[in-house]
Amino acid sequence: MTGEAEDIMAKQAKIDASGATSGPAPETAKASARSPVDKTRELAGKAVKTSAVLLEEEARLARDLMAVLAGNSEIAPAPGDKRFKDDAWNQNPFLRIAMQGYLSWTQALGQVVDQIPLDDRNRERARFAVSMLSDAFAPTNTLLGNPAALKKMVDTGGSSIARGLKNMLTDLATNKGMPAQVDKSKFRVGENLATTPGAVVFRNPVLELIQYTPTTEKVHARPQIMVPPQINKYYIFDLAPGKSIVEFLVGSGFQVFTVSWRNPTADQADWDMATYVSALLEAIEAVREITGADDVNLHGACSGAMTMAAMLGHLAASERPLVHAATMMVAVLDGQAESQLGLFATPEVVSLAKTNSASRGVIEGHDMGRVFAWMRPNDLVWNYWVNNYLMGNPPPAFDVLYWNNDTTRLPARFHAQLMDIFAEHQLSAPGGMTMLDTPIDLSRVKCDTYVLAGISDHITPWQGVFNTSRTLGGKNEFVLSSSGHVQSLINPPGNPKAKYFTNGATAGTADDWLAGATAVQGTWWEHWREWLKAHSGKLRAAPAALGSKAHPPAEPAPGTYVVAA
C-alpha cells in the first residue's frame, strides 16, 4: 500500500467514525431529519436500562471534569476542529476549562454509545444522533463562549451584534430560519455564472440542449453530452471561467453539448425516470443530426448519471449502440454502500417521505438542502450561525455555494422512484427495473466507462461509486479524487493540492482497490481528457456555426429553463 493510500484510508476511517458521510438519497427529506431525534430518545431509554454503563461513564466524566478544574487535563480538540482555533482557548484559563469540559462531556456521550448493546446499524444511528446533540451545544455557538465574537463586539462597539441580529431576522423571513450560506446578491446566472458561449439548439418539455461554440480550429468528431443531476441546475458543469468543465472540454478540442433540465412544478408530478430517459434520447438524436455522428459520448453526475445508466440499460436491451463511451461522476446506483442518510431510510421514513411529496406534487429543493445541511451541521449550519449572527459578517460570496443554494424541485413520482431504486436496488440488480418496456441489466452495457468518486464525499460515498463501476459491463476506469462531492467535480488544473488515485486492477473490494492504488499529483480532469481523446474519434474542422437547418440556434446559453422559477 502506498503512503498516500494509507493516509486516505485513515482519513476515511475518521470520517466514518465521526458520522461525516451521508448517503445518496436526499429524498428522505423532512422525515429523515426527524429520525435523529427519535434515535436520541431510543438511545436514552436503552442507556437508562443499562444502569451500569451510565454509572461507569458518570464516574469517568466526574474524574475528567475534576482534572479539567485542576488544570491537569490533557484533552484537546481533534486535529482539524476549527471551532477552537482561537489562541484564547488555551491562553485563558476559564475558556480552557469550558473547552475541555465540553470535550469531556462529548467524549463521555460517545463512550456511552459504544458500550450500550446495539447492533452495528443502530450504533451508527446513535453515534450520529449524539454528534448532532453535542455539536449543537458547543460553547462556540454562543456569544459568551466564542472569544472571537466577543473581541469583535468590543472592537466594533457592539455593531457586530446589531448586524448579526439583522442577519438573523433576514434569514427568519427569507431562508426558513436557516443561516444563509452565501450572499446571493453577488451572482447572476449568465453574467458571472454559466458564461461559456453557446446557444439552445433543441428543446422539449423536459430539457433544453445547449451547444457550445468551439474555440479550436479542429474538434474531435464524436460529440460530448453533459447530463446534470435533476436535483441541481446544470451549471455545475459551467460554473465560472477557470472552474468550468464545459470551458475545459471546449478548449481541449471537443464538441460539447449540455442538457439543462426544466425545473418541474406540481403540474409535472407524474414525471418519472422514463420521462427523463425519453427526453434524453431525443436530445441524443438532435446531437447526432447536428454533428453527423453515429454515436455520442455521455458524461453525467449524481442522479443525472443514474438516468444515464437507466438509458444505457435500455439501449443495451434494445441493441441500439448510440453511446460510444460514458463518464459517471460521483454516481451511486443503489443503497448498498454504508451512508449516513441511508441509516435513517427505514420503511416508515421512506413511506412518509413519499406521502409528503405526493401530497404536494413535488419535493422542494430547499427541503432537500436542509437535510444535507444537518448531515454535516458543524460545516453547513453552525459555521454560518457563528459567521452571520455572532460575528455579524455577511455570508460568503462563493460561486459553488450559490449554485448549491439555487435549488430545483423533483417531481413526486420521480422522487418516489429514486427512493425505490435505492431501497430495493432496482437499477443495479439484473431485471430489477424495466425502462421503456425493456428489462434493465447493466452488465449488458458494453461501452467503455470512466467512473469518478470523491474520497470525502458525504453525498455519494466513494465505496458506493466503486460498486457502480463494477455493476457496468465493458471496460471501465475507476478514478478516486482526494476531494468531496462537489469539489471533485470542480477540479480545474492549477490547484497544487489536487490529487487523485488510479489502479489498473479490476477485481476485489473498494478497500483492496485503494490499497493498491497509485497517487497522482494534479487534477483528474487532465487524466480524463486523455481518456476522452482516445474515445472521441479523429480531429476535423470545427463547425462554422451552431445547430443545423433542422435545429437552428435559439436563445444564447445558458438558455431559459435554468433561470425559470
Angle at CA of residue 304, ends 301 and 310, nearest 5°: 120
Per DSSP, the three-state class of 297 is strand
| Measured distance CA(65)–CA(70) in Å, rounded | 9
Q: Is the pLDDT of residue 6 over 50?
A: no
Q: Residue 355: which residues within 8 A CB-CB, separation 6 or more?
A: none
Q: Give φ, ψ of 149 to 5 degrees.
A: -70, -40
> What does DSSP assign to residue 3?
H
If we measure between CA atoms, which residue out of 467, 462, 506, 499 comes closest to residue 481? 499
Q: Which residue has the cell 458494453?
A: 446
- Reported confidence tier of residue 370, pLDDT bands at 50, 70, 90: confident
Give the range among 34-48, 196-210, 337-351 with minimum mean pLDDT: 34-48
Cβ atoms of 230 and 307 within 8 Å: the answer is yes
| Measured distance CA(147)–CA(25) in Å, rounded | 38
Inter-axis angle of helices 159-174 and 147-155, to 10 degrees?
Answer: 110
- Reported confidence tier of residue 340, pLDDT bands at 50, 70, 90: low
Read off the pLDDT of residues 253-310 as tens digits, 9 standing for 90 and up: 999 999 999 999 999 999 999 999 999 999 999 999 999 999 999 999 999 999 999 9
State in words which class domain 198-364+407-563 has.
alpha beta
Cβ atoms of 275 and 284 within 8 Å: the answer is no
Read off the pLDDT of residues 222-234 as tens digits, 9 standing for 90 and up: 999 999 999 899 9
Segment 407-428 mean pLDDT: 90
Give the range among 153-157, 199-203, 363-367, 450-454 with minimum mean pLDDT: 363-367
| Measured distance CA(317)–CA(451) in Å, rounded | 22
Residue 320 Cα distances to 9, 151, 479, angstroms: 41, 67, 28
- Hey, how many other C-beta atoms are within 10 angstroms of the C-beta on 437? 9
Residues composing the chain: 565
Specify the pLDDT at position 374.
76
Q: Is the pLDDT of residue 37 over 80?
A: no
| Measured distance CA(209)–CA(284) in Å, rounded | 9
Q: Is the pLDDT of residue 44 over 60?
A: no
Higher pLDDT, 113 or 263: 263
Specify the pLDDT at position 26.
37
| Measured distance CA(73)–CA(85) in Å, rounded | 18
Q: Is the pLDDT of residue 336 over 60?
A: yes
Cis peptide before 214 (omega within 30 of 0): no
By annotation, the residues acting in catalysis are: 302
Segment 135-161 mean pLDDT: 95
Specify the pLDDT at position 365.
79
Specify the pLDDT at position 343.
55
| Measured distance CA(299)–CA(481) in Å, rounded | 17
- Reported confidence tier of residue 384, pLDDT bands at 50, 70, 90: very high
> Cell for 303?
442522479
| Measured distance CA(335)–CA(419) in Å, rounded | 9
Give the type of residue at 147.
Answer: P
Q: Residue 539: which residues within 8 A CB-CB, separation 6 or more?
A: 218, 219, 220, 221, 253
Q: Is the pLDDT of residue 327 over 90?
A: yes
> Cell for 22?
451521508
Instruction: Report CA Rg, the chain.
Output: 25
Q: What percent of the chain has pLDDT over 90?
A: 66
> Terminus-to-terminus CA distance in the chain, angstroms?
50
- Reported confidence tier of residue 31, pLDDT bands at 50, 70, 90: very low
Specify the pLDDT at position 39.
52
Read off the pLDDT of residues 509-526 as tens digits, 9 standing for 90 and up: 999 999 999 999 999 999
Q: What percent of the chain has pLDDT over 70?
A: 87
Read off the pLDDT of residues 469-509 as tens digits, 9 standing for 90 and up: 999 999 999 999 999 888 899 999 998 889 999 998 767 89
* DSSP letter string, 17-75: HHT----S-GGGHHHHHHHHHHHHHHHHHHHHH-HHHHHHHHHHHHHHHHHHHTT----
Query: Alpha carbon 424 to chain centroid distance?
Result: 22
Specify the pLDDT at position 36.
52
Segment 30-34 mean pLDDT: 43
> Cell for 312?
444505457
The pTM of the whole model exceeds 0.75: yes
Higher pLDDT, 89 or 372: 89
- Reported confidence tier of residue 409, pLDDT bands at 50, 70, 90: very high
Segment 9-31 mean pLDDT: 36
Specify the pLDDT at position 356.
81
**Domains of the chain, residue spans:** 29-137, 154-174+365-406, 198-364+407-563
Specify the pLDDT at position 357.
82
Q: Is the pLDDT of residue 404 over 60?
A: yes
Q: Is the pLDDT of residue 393 over 90?
A: yes
Segment 346-365 mean pLDDT: 78
- Reported confidence tier of residue 320, pLDDT bands at 50, 70, 90: very high
